[in-house]
Amino acid sequence: MKTIHQKANDRAATGNSAPAAFASLAAELRGDFLWGVATSAFQLEGSSHADWSSWEEILNTKPEVTNHYELYREDLALLKKLGVNAYRFSIEWSRIQPRENIWDEKAVEHYQEIIDILRRDGIEPMVTLHHFTHPLWFSRKYPWHEDGSVEKFLAYVEKALSILSGVRYWITFNEPYVLVLAGYFEGCTPPGIKSVPLGIRALTNILKAHGAAYDMIHARYPDARVSVAHNMAALAPWKKWNPLDRLLARIAKYFYNHSLLDAFLTGRLRLNLPFHKEQEIAVPIQGKLDFLGVNYYTRIHMRFNPLKKKGVEMRHLDIDGHGLTDMGWEIHPRGLEKVLRYASRLGVPLIITENGIATRDSQEKIRFMKKHIDVVEHCLRQGMDIRGYFYWSLIDNYEWLQGLDARFGLYKVDFDTLKRTPTNAAAYYSYLIKNRRF
Ligand code: IFM
């Protein structure tokens, strides 16, 4: 099998993207384009053993959730109603391994039941092994910058693989860069460390863990399709005429969007961060990617501001008039094309593993979805190899630093009664899927 590096070279040599175009359009015509929704376990279920639970106490916010751990059957029935053919969800490590030496196999079986229900309903499961949260014991004893972290994570993967079956699509890590930026550079999420060198060490270990988990999944399931879900943003200078803003945007774009893709191509991680001694770190992930999961939400403008920390200011500006979401994020559908175009260089199929909007206004949600799916259609016609689109999220859920105010769901949740009510956006998505839009 050719590595993605070889494939990227072949494509560059022939300049030919036609096979990819045929593959993705054919997938759409055959009906195996993945139309899905995405969720994560902690955001729906919580877990008293997760590091985030103790973080919530520190933040003094209530660990409220949607009670999905009990109501999963009803929620899975919503997928059928929507008519999606794929569902991305995560399994919660802290439920499966609540203490270092204690495994709760019942928890894995719970997730297996979800997979069985999905298979019964003809819905392709995509399982995320790590979506931001860790068991508390792991965070305390082996946070990612510690060497023992990789081994501990792999023991969890081994346990999950020994019990779970019927899964073809795997995401090892959701948004590894967000995890490291928030947990280590900013220190605003667990483990709450403010250190760039430790953050880089954590990222290196996470990528090592991805490489090893990729091999373990393939050893057990040769046909598996394995990736990370990489958060990519459109990054632009605040003032185009200002060379310092332009420089900052270039640095941010390389670090945030591209350095990971280069590491998959070359096995070398280079971050090109200013104020930091440049290192090139070997990471054993070259070619260890069967598709790329892209999470896309917004555009960020970069400004050089000497009054800010390290001179960096980041803003969401409503430049094109598409508006800002309830997260304060700019709606910028064209940015999706830009990141997909760049990601296409990898030479593996792309799947949009998350795209969504926080708003209480259904019409706004519909407009957001339509504009972004129009971009996906345009990209397919341009010959990009895109195999799926997952809307974030199925139901309203717990949004990390914003709690319950950010309403991403196609189904609205009343957090007092736990009642789920379809928004008009749910009907729109169903309509779109049924009428095979492309
Ligand atoms: O809710 C998050 C999700 O956990 C990861 N991607 C972005 C979403 C919206 O912020």
Q: Span 201-206, mean pLDDT?
A: 98
Ligand 1, atom 4, residue with closest C-alpha: 40
Q: Span 263-268, mean pLDDT?
A: 98
Residue 9 has pLDDT above 90, yes or no: no
User: Is any atom of ligand 1 closer than 6 Å to the C-beta of 175?
Assistant: yes
Residues 6 or more apart whose CB falls under 8 angstroms from that of 99 comprise: 49, 135, 137
Residue 71 has pLDDT above 70, yes or no: yes
Q: Span 193-205, mean pLDDT?
A: 96
Q: Span 26-46, mean pLDDT?
A: 84
Task: Say how far apart CA 67 and CA 294 lie, in whole Å.
Answer: 28
User: Is any atom of ligand 1 closer than 6 Å to the C-beta of 354?
Assistant: yes
The percentage of residues in the chain with a pLDDT greater than 70, rounded to a whole number, is 91
Counting atoms of ligand 1 from 1, which one is nearest the CA of 392? 8
pLDDT tens profile 367-419: 999 999 999 999 999 999 999 999 999 999 999 998 899 999 999 999 999 99
Q: How high is the pLDDT of residue 133?
A: 97
| Average pLDDT score over the chain | 92
Q: Span 106-123, mean pLDDT?
A: 98
Q: How high is the pLDDT of residue 13?
A: 41
142 pLDDT tier (thresholds 50, 70, 90): very high
Q: Span 210-216, mean pLDDT?
A: 98
Q: How high is the pLDDT of residue 18?
A: 47
Q: How high is the pLDDT of residue 14?
A: 38
Ligand 1, atom 10, residue with closest C-alpha: 399
Q: How high is the pLDDT of residue 105?
A: 94
277 pLDDT tier (thresholds 50, 70, 90): confident
* Most informative mutation of 175, 179, 327 for ligand 1 (most atoms within 8 A of CB): 175
Going by their DSSP bridges, the two strands 268-270 and 225-237 should be labelled as unpaired
pTM: 0.94
* Most informative mutation of 43, 174, 392 for ligand 1 (most atoms within 8 A of CB): 392
Residue 11 has pLDDT above 80, yes or no: no
* Most informative mutation of 133, 295, 355 for ligand 1 (most atoms within 8 A of CB): 295
Dihedrals φ, ψ of 95, to 5°?
-85, -35
Instruction: Count how many Cα atoms sit within 13 Å of the Cα of residue 20 in the half-sphere of its side chain.
Output: 26
Residue 355 has pLDDT above 50, yes or no: yes
31 pLDDT tier (thresholds 50, 70, 90): low
22 pLDDT tier (thresholds 50, 70, 90): low
**Domains of the chain in sequence order:** 32-230+331-435 (3.20.20.80)
Distance (Å) from CA 103 to ligand 1 centroid:
27
Q: Span 171-194, mean pLDDT?
A: 96
Q: Span 178-198, mean pLDDT?
A: 95
